[in-house]
Structure 1
Amino acid sequence: MSALPQGTECYALIWEGEMGAFYEIDHELNITLIADVLNQTGNRYGLLYGLADPTFPKDGPYPRSSDAGKLMALASFSRRSTATEKERQLLSFLLDGPYRKLSDYEALSDMPYLDAGLEDPEFRDFAGIYSDAIFERFHHVARAKLNKRLPLIIAGGCGLNCDWNTKWRETELFSEVFVPPVANDSGAAIGTAIDAQFRYTGNPKINWNVYSGLSFRSGVPSDLNSYDVYSKNNDRVADMLANDLILGWAHGRYEIGPRALGNRSILAAPFRDETRVRLNEIKQREQFRPIAPVCLDEDAEKCFGCDHDSPHMLYTYHARIGDLAAVTHVNKTARLQTVTSTSNKELHELLSAFKKRTGYGVLCNTSLNFKGKGFINNMTDLEAYSIGHGLDGFIVDGQAYLLKKSPRYQAYLTSSSRHKSLD
């Protein structure tokens, strides 16, 4: 899936729930194991989250699928880099030797983080230390054994850890780093097809687009009288967003991979931390979790110090502007997606309209889905989600549907003469 020409020698890092290893791929696509660094990498990482979470059974053999992503958010709260003696003992238990359940740790009952809750500041400090310790195990091997400065391609669920991806770029060990947007199990079908194509044709390269899911199944809301309906107008939508309405956005085919990249999104203005709080409430998520920005490519350097395309939300950047509170994490980073007129024309046009309205070509972007489910892809589910989770409306199929019962929408109508201009 990378843009590397076939036959380019490269390194591969495969790290996910079960494995963590470096490989070298030669010009004939022969694959050689360089180092098996840490088995059960992703499971070891996510298991720490369960230590402080009182709802996680300590004899559970594996972490929950969402725990790794939550720990990534908590790690950003860390304020120190040095482990205490007890923390070093826990690090050794978690990372040295075979993968084990938390209940197998003899000193577990003495750990201050046992069921301490995820708000515990000392546990959050340790989350960052733990994240760095895992990365450093791989980094140590890479410095010792990956010395040809070849490109690095990354696969496996740990490839969704934006902090680690960014660290790999910053090591300068590799001529470039590539992570596909389907690094986790969502890419298994594509990988299987590529492998079959290679075996039958000798060619592993494919043409692909991140917006290759199913098209939205159109329809009309079951209770059309509950909505004010307008033909989609980007200036109008931008004005609504600028006035703190939160809107669902469904366009074209949904994204491959787990992250919403502007075709099945919830969009909001990026300026107020209260917006982040409300988005996490809508998403039924913990309040420590950040909201990602989607940004016009031409504004990315000014706002986030990003001077290149970052279309798949796989790296972190440092926010340069204090006005973007809703999309700036506690450590002043942001998990950025950039958009061009060719990568996503519809979203680019909306961002341009929002920039004209506010001066910033940036929006909050989070996935349009029920908790633990895939992207919403039909009108019935979209309507149910909007009403049940507190959206102010949604835009789909060239139509904007605004919920009449939304207090924010009603305030928007009455705040000025906007209701006249909307007719």
Structure 2
Amino acid sequence: MFAAHAERYSRIKNDAFLHPELIREAGSFGLPDEVVWYERPIVKKIRHLRAGQWGHALSTSDLPRRYLRTVGLPRRTPVSYVGHHEAHAWAGIATSGFDSAAVIVADAIGEFDCFTIFGYSPESGLRLRYRRRYPHSLGLLYSAFTRRCGFKPNEDEYILMGMAAYGQPRHVDDILDTWMSLDTPGYRLTTNVHRGIGDWLPDARPEDLAASMQAVTERVLVEAASWARKEIGAPHLILMGGVALNCVANSVIAREAGFPHLWIFPNPGDAGSSVGAAAARLRRALRWDGPYLGTPIQRDLDIPAVVTSLSTDGVAAVANGAAEFGPRALGNRSLLADPRPVDMKDRVNRVKGREKFRPFAPVIREELLHEYFDVPVPTTPYMQFTARCRAPEAFPAVVHVDGSSRVQSVSRLEHPVLHELLRQWETESGCPVLLNTSLNSRGEPLVNTWREAESFGHREGVRVH
């Protein structure tokens, strides 16, 4: 019925604390019968002890029952707990529409689990088939390389993924020799990298380190998925956890692992585990109509006016309908632009305050997707896969240096407004594609309200619709 990110209310990027306004808005749908927490806190504190994080281990202020009272939930509301990777897995299962599936969960760390493979069927439920536990974390290793390359760990991993296209995977063997060894279906780390890898290989180019870590990640995930296809036998694969935000790796899995059907919940990281925790408690599918579950901006979008702004200014901001639940703008809190001018990427980067090397996503009507992009899945409504653009010279602002695009397809059923906007834009311009990026400035969360959207427009000189 409703799902939203705390950061959209506090305006603090990646805010981990529930916000009173978020609780108030959720409460407008009714008081909860029960709260389900997305991990087991006592088990997590045991891991804190093992990791030497004594402050976290001995603190009691973060215990869920005590913490939830501070954000305004009724004192007598029952609280139950599910395992962290169980919550991740169920967020995928309950929204996939699959009757059975193999499920891979890969993240930095839950309580102890860092990499798990499950089989699911209605008869047997969720069954663990493989696990790697702390400190053997693929996610932590990727975050360590994010820091090594000069970015913020646990936040800028997507930048490392984009940088990888500028490098060569020259250091794959160095990574395997120094930090990890591969087994079937997974891996183990030879060193705990929770605190980073320092200035490892100080003379290496960051671009080559990024490409090498990306290649290792893809290899681990493809081999794990191939093993799951053989050993579990389900025709469907679900990817969850923060690592499932790696759309380049997702595309390699889709092409190479042999699964005909692949599902990734559009919010596969910890924020999405709020949905997963509820689903794990219920142990059944949820009604899933799409990710537009957050704060509504109740304004009718003037589509011809948006097309006019795009035609005259080249860019237009759209803030309309319910906010997206997930890290990516999917048409309701979006900055749109004409992808054809060669300078448009630099222009939008200046508006956003981003690094020049980072790519932007194209958005296109679903029925035209495969005509313009060689995407490895039937549809990609949530920007979860990269694809080779079939006409890169036509849309230079949305094609990365390696010729790929992280594409979003739009169906008339799931997002009729954006679908119609794309249709009218093509009628006016002859171009079937728009550049789509999040409506926010550097270091800020997506705008949540119309007032915030207007502030963005005044600040950046962009018309807001």
**What TM-score comes out, normalization by structure 1 length?**
0.77
Among candidates 262, 275, 289, match of residue 208 of structure 1: 289
Among candidates 274, 285, 292, match of residue 189 of structure 1: 274
Which one-letter code corresponds to 1:156 in the other structure? Answer: G
Among candidates 148, 151, 172, match of residue 51 of structure 1: 148
Deviation, 1:323, is 0.8
Partners of 2:179 and 2:191 within 8 A in 1: no
| 1:42 correspondence with 2:161 | no
Deviations 1:380-409, CA, capped at 9 Å, x for gaps = 322221122x232110xxxxxxxxxxxxxx
Partners of 1:238 and 1:353 within 8 A in 2: yes
Partners of 1:162 and 1:314 within 8 A in 2: yes
| 1:97 correspondence with 2:190 | yes
Among candidates 61, 70, 74, match of residue 159 of structure 2: 70
Partners of 2:336 and 2:435 within 8 A in 1: yes
Label 1:84 to 1:267 Cα distance change in 2 as closer, same or farther (>3 A).
Answer: closer
Partners of 1:46 and 1:71 within 8 A in 2: no
Runs of 4+ in structure 1 off by over 4 angstroms are 84-95, 101-105
Other-structure match for 1:28: 123
Partners of 1:160 and 1:183 within 8 A in 2: yes
Over aligned residues, Cα RMSD in angstroms? 2.7
Report SS of the residue matched to 2:343. helix
Among candidates 105, 111, 130, match of residue 14 of structure 1: 105
Q: Separation in 2 of the partners of 1:9 and 1:136?
A: 25
Residues 366-385 of structure 1 mapped to structure 2, 5 A cutoff: 366-385=437-456
**What TM-score comes out, normalization by structure 2 length?**
0.70
Deviation, 1:342, is 1.7
Q: Separation in 1 of the partners of 2:360 and 2:228?
A: 37
Partners of 1:87 and 1:126 within 8 A in 2: no
Label 1:185 to 1:314 Cα distance change in 2 as closer, same or farther (>3 A).
Answer: same
Deviation, 1:254, is 0.9
Q: Separation in 1 of the partners of 2:239 and 2:200?
A: 37
Label 1:312 to 1:104 Cα distance change in 2 as closer, same or farther (>3 A).
Answer: closer
Other-structure match for 1:137: 220
Residues 267-278 of structure 1 mapped to structure 2, 5 A cutoff: 267-278=336-347
Deviation, 1:66, is 2.0
Which one-letter code corresponds to 1:365 in the other structure? Answer: N
Label 1:354 to 1:40 Cα distance change in 2 as closer, same or farther (>3 A).
Answer: same
Which one-letter code corresponds to 2:166 in the other structure? Answer: F
Which one-letter code corresponds to 2:354 in the other structure? Answer: R
- Which piece of structure 1 moves more, 25-34 or 9-18? 25-34
**Unaligned runs of at least 5 residues, structure 1:** 57-62, 114-121, 219-230, 396-423
Partners of 1:35 and 1:141 within 8 A in 2: no
Label 1:13 to 1:86 Cα distance change in 2 as closer, same or farther (>3 A).
Answer: closer
Q: Separation in 1 of the partners of 2:131 and 2:191?
A: 13
Other-structure match for 2:362: 293
Which one-letter code corresponds to 1:207 in the other structure? Answer: W
Which one-letter code corresponds to 1:352 in the other structure? Answer: R
Other-structure match for 1:410: none
Label 1:111 to 1:342 Cα distance change in 2 as closer, same or farther (>3 A).
Answer: same
Percent identity reads 24
| 1:83 correspondence with 2:171 | yes
Q: Separation in 2 of the partners of 1:158 and 1:103?
A: 17
Deviation, 1:156, is 0.7
Aligned length: 357
Q: Separation in 1 of the partners of 2:275 and 2:105?
A: 16
| 1:4 correspondence with 2:97 | yes
Q: Separation in 1 of the partners of 2:223 and 2:454?
A: 50
Q: Separation in 2 of the partners of 1:232 and 1:140?
A: 46
**Unaligned runs of at least 5 residues, structure 2:** 1-93, 182-186
Label 1:14 to 1:84 Cα distance change in 2 as closer, same or farther (>3 A).
Answer: closer
Other-structure match for 1:365: 436
- Which piece of structure 1 moves more, 367-376 or 172-181? 367-376
Deviations 1:285-321, CA, capped at 9 Å, x for gaps = 2111111011111221221134732111111111011
Q: Which protein shows a greater Rg?
A: 1
Q: Separation in 2 of the partners of 1:173 and 1:379?
A: 44
Label 1:302 to 1:336 Cα distance change in 2 as closer, same or farther (>3 A).
Answer: same
Label 1:142 to 1:37 Cα distance change in 2 as closer, same or farther (>3 A).
Answer: farther
Partners of 2:148 and 2:196 within 8 A in 1: no
Deviation, 1:207, is 3.2
Deviation, 1:347, is 1.2
Label 1:138 to 1:349 Cα distance change in 2 as closer, same or farther (>3 A).
Answer: closer
Deviations 1:361-390, CA, capped at 9 Å, x for gaps = 2101011134444331223322221122x2
Partners of 1:296 and 1:340 within 8 A in 2: yes
